[in-house]
Amino acid sequence: MATSHLLAAAVTSSSSSAAFRRPLRRLSPPPLSLTLSRRRPFPVVRAADADAKETTKPKAPEKAPAAGSSFNQLLGIKGAKEESNIWKIRLQLTKPVTWPPLVWGVLCGAAASGNFQWTVEDVAKSIVCMLMSGPCLTGYTQTINDWYDRDIDAINEPYRPIPSGAISENEVITQIWVLLLAGLGLGALLDVWAGHDYPIIFYLALGGSLLSYIYSAPPLKLKQNGWIGNFALGASYIGLPWWAGQALFGTLTPDIVVLTCLYSIAGSLPVAFGMDTAKWICVGAIDITQLSVAGYLLSTGKLYYALALLGLTIPQVILQFQYFLKDPVKYDVKYQASAQPFFVFGLLVTALATSH
C-alpha cells in the first residue's frame, strides 16, 4: 500500500536530508510555457539567481545504467532502459509503479461506504474512479514533480527523460495539462453519475491536484519541508482516494476522516529525522496507528474486526525486525514485498469495519 512506499521513501529521504541543509545557487530553468521546442538536452546554461530558500544540494552525478531494464522503464523506476519511443517515455514519466496504492485506496473507500454492490454499474464506477486517481491524477503528480526537478536532475541524473531531451519541454507541458484535465473531467463525470447535488469528487480531485502542484512547484515546494511535505504525500496516497471511493458510493463521515488522517500521519512522520531515528519512528508510527485503530474498533463492539487487524499487525511487526529495522535501505524491496500485504489488508479490514 501507499504507506509502505512512504516508509521506504521516508527513510531514504532522511538519509540524504543532511546534505540538503545548505543554500545553493540554483540553476534557472526555462519558464513553464507552451512554447514549442525540439527534443534536446535540457539547457543547463547558467548558475544564477541565488535563492536562500532553495535547500537542495546536488550530489555527484549518477551514471546511466549500463543495461537498463525495459520493465523498469515502463514502471518508471530506477534502472530503466533508455527509450526513444515517445509513448513509452510518457508512460515512464507517470510512474505506473505508484498507481496501485491509489487504486487500493478507492477500493477501501468503496468498501467503507457499505453501499458498493457487485453490479456492472458499481464496478464501472469504481474503475473510472481508479482511473481518475491512478493514471490521471497520480500520473499528473509524477510528471509535474519531474518537471520541477529538471534542473537538479540535469546535474544529478542527466540521463532521465526530461534533462536528457528524450522528451521535449512542450511535450511534457502538454502531458501535464492532458492528465490534469482528464482527472478533473472524470471527477465531474463521477459526481453526475452518482447523482450528487454537491460535486464532492470533483472538488477532491481539484484539491488533490492543487496539493500536488504546491508539493512540487516553487515558491512553496512542500517537498522541501519534511513534516508538511510528507504529510501531504501521505494524504494524497491514502486519504484522498479513500474519500473519493467512499463519496462515490456513500457519505464521508468524521470517523473515516480521522482514521485516514491517522494513517496518513503515520506514513509521514519519519522524514524529519536521521536514518537511525527515522526507521524506529517509521515502524512505530504505523504499528501504533494500527493498534489504536484496533482498539477503537474493539471499543465500538467490532471484536472480530479488531482481532483481524491485530492478527495482520503481528506478522508485520516480525518482518519489521527481520528486514526494515536491520537495514531499511538494503532490505527495502524484501520488506515491502513481505510486509505490504499485511498492511493493505489491514486497511481493507478497517474499511469494512466502518461500513457495518
User: Domain-by-domain residue ranges, the chain?
Assistant: 2-14+85-354
Looking at residue 231, its amino acid is: F
For residue 32, which of 205, 176, 154 has the smallest C-alpha distance?
Answer: 176
Q: Does the pLDDT of residue 91 top 70, yes or no?
A: yes
pLDDT band at 10 (very low <50, low <70, confident <90, very high): very low
Q: Does the pLDDT of residue 19 top 80, yes or no?
A: no
For residue 349, which of 301, 294, 300 has the smallest C-alpha distance?
Answer: 294
Helix axis angle, 169-194 relative to 139-148, nearest 10°? 150
Tell me how far apart the 2 most distant CA atoms of the chain are, in Å: 65
CATH number of the 2-14+85-354 domain:
1.10.357.140
More confident residue, 68 or 56: 68
| Percent of the chain residues topping a pLDDT of 70 | 76
pTM of the model: 0.70
Do 130 and 238 meet the contact criterion of CB atoms below 8 Å apart?
A: no
| pLDDT (tens digit per residue) in 315-353 | 999 998 998 888 887 887 678 778 878 888 888 898 888
Q: How far apart are CA 67 and CA 281, in angstroms?
A: 37
Q: Residue 93 is placed in which grid cell?
A: 514519466
A 10 A CB-CB count for 153 gives 21
Looking at residue 87, its amino acid is: W
pLDDT value for 72: 79
Least confident piece of the model among 23-32, 101-110, 204-213, 231-240: 23-32
| pLDDT (tens digit per residue) in 119-162 | 999 999 999 999 999 999 999 999 999 999 999 999 988 888 99
For residue 57, the surrounding DSSP H or E stretch is none
Residues in the chain: 356
Q: How far apart are CA 272 and CA 95, in angstroms?
A: 25
Q: Residue 113 is placed in which grid cell?
A: 461506504
pLDDT value for 283: 83
More confident residue, 199 or 114: 199
Do 57 and 68 meet the contact criterion of CB atoms below 8 Å apart?
A: no
What average pLDDT does the chain have?
A: 79
Handedness of CA 71, 208, 239, 256 (dihedral sign): negative
pLDDT value for 276: 76
